[in-house]
Amino acid sequence: MGGAISLLAVNFIVAQIFVVAFLIISVKSRSGRAAAWCAAGFAVASLSAICEAVLPFTPMPRLFAVGAFANVLAGFCLLRIGLGVFYSVPAKPPVLASFFIGSVIVDLFIYDLPRGTLLHAFFYQMPFFLIQAWSAAAIIRSRRRSYADGILLCMLALSALYFLVKIYAAVAAGSGATAADYLQSPFALISQALGAMLIVGTGVAMLGVVVKDVVDEARASSEIDALSGLCNRRGFSSRVVAPLLRDLSDHDVGTLILADIDRFKLVNDTFGHHTGDEVIREFSHILADVMPHRAVAGRVGGEEFAIFLPRVGLADARVVANGIRSELAVKRINGLPEGVAVTASFGVSAVAAGELLDAAMRRADNSLYAAKAGGRNRVECAEPPIRVIASADYHRSGKYRPT
């Protein structure tokens, strides 16, 4: 019995570590609600260790035996809620509550059945199998396919399989004549040892998924311009390089548009930086509204913007640029007097297969300069490159050095 008690203590301590870890994440991440549910799940499930440890010494073994069952199952149900929140595949509360209550009632009914029999083991272990399989199904339905999601899916599937195997193991190894005898049975030591490994494995996998989400969130935040809500220069570059690499064999990869708000310094000096910020925000809204699907837009300078249009030709990109220009010219912007309009100039360049982003940016910038020199509030297009030879480093890694 001492070995089983020791493993119960280990399981309890490990569960508390996960409780603390998920609680910390719950206040540090946008996945906070999901992490809070997971923390609650581990906290509730850990109470079963206390119930099982008390079983051999209490005059009310039924209460603590059913309590141990109910705590583990309730913890798993809370984890299912947390995973549902995280993966946007929620469990219906009435269904989950009915499942939990029904399972506890069944456990009460089978309490007096001979332990170590197939009938008792089947009805005792089946709810655990079903809830773990249900959690695994949530990941499958979410269609998220990162390595972290795959590992968690495997751990949940193993956990579900573990409870199926326990049906046979409880009969083969013997789980004691009564609930109070459980900790002295050969089955208890095996069950607690394997359970500890699965708790650790599943808990680490859940933490891995949530931490990955935190890291992705931080990385995304570092690539977004706070004022405009568009990509910053770094974010724009990272999002455009992937299509350029993917479409190396295509003749027309897409088109690049550079836009610069005309006389923006004069707007700031005359009407204040608050109005200048409002101009940036309104122009960004226009970009978001006019841009085609799958286009990438970024604020790459103070009043300079870049738009990448994948699989769009030069003529169509010119139409898009003129649409943006026209929208801005008639836009009423807070902070500007009636009749004062803001305009922008545009340089458009086709991006050829294998072309470095820097080269396309330079040609678009030259066209933008021509639009400025030609009177502003206009669109100029660059001549397409006759031939592009990408560097060996670009073909290997897609990396480049921003100008």
Active-site residue list: 303
Residue 110 CA to residue 95 CA, distance in Å, equals 22
DSSP 384: P
How far is residue 223's CA from residue 239's CA, in Å, rounded to a whole number? 10
- Enclosing H/E stretch for 392: helix 392-397
C-alpha span between 390 and 318 (Å, rounded): 26
CA distance 358 to 10: 57
Question: What's the N-to-C CA distance of the chain in angstroms?
Answer: 70
* CA atoms of 81 and 308, how far apart (whole Å): 40
CB 70 within 8 A of CB 111: no
d(CA 35, CA 237): 32
Report the SS3 class of residue 303: coil
Contact (CB, 8 A) for 43 and 55: no
Stretch (H or E) spanning 197: helix 186-222
Three-state SS for 138-149 is HHHHHCCCCHHH
- 118-142 vs 147-173: helix crossing angle, rounded to 10: 180
**Alpha-carbon span 191 to 296, nearest angstrom:** 53
